[in-house]
Amino acid sequence: MTGDFDNHSDQEKELVQRFENSLKSNLDIFFGEEELEDIVRYYHDHLLYKKAFKTCEWALQKFPFSMEIKLLMAQSLLFMDEIEESLDILENLNNLSPNNEEIILTMANALSLLDQSAEAIQLLNGFLPLAEDKAEVYYLLGNFYRIEKKDKEAIACFKEAVKCKINHEDALFQLAMMTEEEGSFDEILKFYQEFIDQDPYNANAWYNLGVVYNRLGKFEAAIEAYDYALLIDDAFASAYFNLGNALMNTHQYEKALEAYQNTINCEGSNAENCCYLAASYEKLDQIDMAFKYFKKSAKLDPEYDDAWFGLGMCMIKKKKYFEAIHYFKKALKLTSENANYWVGLAGAEYQLGNLQASSEAYEEAINLEPGIIETYINLSLIYFDQNRFEEAEDVIKEGMEELPEEAELYYRLVVYLIKTGKYKEAFSILENALTLDFEKHVLLFDLMPELEQQKAIYKIINQYKEDLKG
């Protein structure tokens, strides 16, 4: 659910800092075996796999027989895509300590990464009777069966994972994904309903049912399920958070705000829940409060890009475009692959008259995520205002290929074609537009009022109007 964005205590951060300082200064400071394990795990959590591996090498000089550090080294290599080297270490560890659960699970992942999912399945099935955490073994088996395209077996394993651990969110997510792909919604809902029938006062069961409904886009049903979970456990932070998301999807922004506030009351502030609370304030046009919580989110986790984007959107609404550009660039520095961030930047640049920068940002958005209608419309307007008529038409046509049912694109192209004297093509496109959505033909007159006096245009529109009446 809402990730804890401060996964490590100040003591752990201080331990890592002390270790790094000792290496830089060539000081031979003693670190215990468990301390070194904690340092490697810290690096894993922060995706610093090379540092983790180097730390394992250093640690094994001090503790050459440490099974745990050797396992962490194998995991570091796995994260670095050094899979065969990792598997060599794991096989040696498995010989020394057969049926060690963490070693077996890591070996299975390594085999899968080597496209040996069948061998991984065989390994896990053989180990399953001995496993303590059967939920995790079933979950991994489900993933490997999916890779092998054995969906029936995968679904059975994900169900077993949930039976072993009712709040196994990854297994729940996979079940929802697979049933959505297959359209077997009734089966999965029945599966969760069985939990509730067995134990109607199980908050997790109601919560899981809400997760499924939410995944299926049945937000009202999800809201009801989350409400039941919260009636049973009024300190269920995940249920409050997901309830807020479902309420946002049904445009119940005041109730969503309350749900997010309850999330914070239950688990404390973190970057994610503050960002979502800010988004609900933004939807209610309470921009100062939205800005306050987006700012708090960014302070709690400076690398949480959504918070910087939210700050940019607040500045757009306040018409402070220079500030908006600053925040959008912050977000893009963290995540340059998000098309919405480029759209936000493009809009702010446009408002300041920076047409070249704006058009480049819109182009980047289109490259990243074709299918956002406003990118095609706004970029075409920039080109058109610069008398780059062919480019304006090409952008709209590109949009029509991605969004063939969007009548607005067709009507806009009609206007561009008429303005450049391409009447025959314009009339042909107009017929397509009228077929798609007759009511939107008024866009023509909004975009180009003089068209109301064009007899040929009026005749085509009137003919379609008569056809609709008939």
- In this prediction, residue 157 carries a pLDDT of 93
What's the rounded Cα separation, in Å, for the pair 428 and 406? 16
CA dist., res. 4 & res. 144, Å (int)? 28
Residue 181's pLDDT is what? 63
Domain 184-255: give its CATH architecture.
Alpha Horseshoe (1.25)
Q: Which two tokens stand for residue 129?
A: 């009777």
**Cα–Cα distance measured from residue 79 to residue 156, given in angstroms and rounded to the nearest whole number:** 28
Q: What per-residue confidence (pLDDT) applies to 341?
A: 97
> Can you give the pLDDT at residue 385?
86
* pLDDT attached to residue 470: 55
CA distance 182 to 283: 35
pLDDT at 109: 87
Please give the pLDDT value at position 199.
82
pLDDT at 162: 84
CA torsion 102-103-109-114 (nearest 10°) is: 170
pLDDT at residue 417 in the model: 93
Asked if 206 and 229 touch (Cβ cutoff 8 Å), the reply is: yes
The pLDDT score that the predictor gives to residue 164 is 87
Express each pLDDT in 145-184 by its tens digit.
Answer: 988 889 889 988 998 998 888 778 788 778 777 766 666 6
**297: number of Cβ within 10 Å:** 28
The residues of the chain scoring below 50 in pLDDT are 1-7
3-state SS string for 102-158 = HHHHHHHHHHHHCCCHHHHHHHHHHHHHHCCCHHHHHHHHHHHHHHCCCHHHHHHHH
Cα–Cα distance for residue pair 25/403, rounded to 1 Å: 59
Distance CA 391, CA 264 (A): 49
In angstroms, rounded to a whole number, what is the distance separating the alpha carbons of residues 210 and 188? 12
pLDDT at 469: 63
How many CB atoms sit inside 10 A of residue 196's CB? Answer: 16
Q: Where in the chain are the domains?
A: 184-255, 415-470
Quick one: pLDDT at residue 6?
44
| Cα 227 to Cα 231: distance, rounded to the nearest angstrom | 6
Q: Tokens standing for 204?
A: 């997790």
The distance in angstroms from the start CA to the end CA of the chain is 54
Q: Is 99 exposed, middle or buried (0-12, 13-18, 19+ CB in 10 A)?
A: exposed
pLDDT in tens, 234-284: 999 999 999 999 999 999 999 999 999 999 999 999 999 999 999 999 999
Q: Output the average pLDDT for the chain.
A: 89
What per-residue confidence (pLDDT) applies to 5? 37
